[in-house]
Amino acid sequence: MPTTNTEKRMSTCVPPADGPALAAPLCPLCGQPNQCAAAATGSLDTACWCREVTISPTTLTRIPEAQKSKACLCRACATGEHSPKQ
């Protein structure tokens, strides 16, 4: 699916300035394991599902400020398969 103006393809595991992969194992939206291979290994060279999904800007705005660039979303939250906890 092509990227539109309201969606952007990105990995939630890449902190600013393309630093090291994030080590947080839980999704900041739902608290479930994020199953991010890059986060688990600490290496952005590790293949992961997170590089293959499109995350809506609306979903990105739901990430608590304290968790931005610190934790990867899980696939369900990243793809909108379930609503995040409030």
Q: Give pLDDT tens digits along the chain (86 positions).
A: 343 433 444 445 544 445 566 678 899 999 999 998 888 887 778 888 888 888 889 999 999 998 888 888 999 999 888 764 54
Q: Is the pTM of this model over 0.85?
A: no
- SS3 at position 80: coil
The amino acid that residue 54 corresponds to is T
Q: Which residues contact 79 (CB under 8 A, 6 or more apart)?
A: 53, 54, 55
Q: Which residue reads 């990243």 in tokens?
A: 78
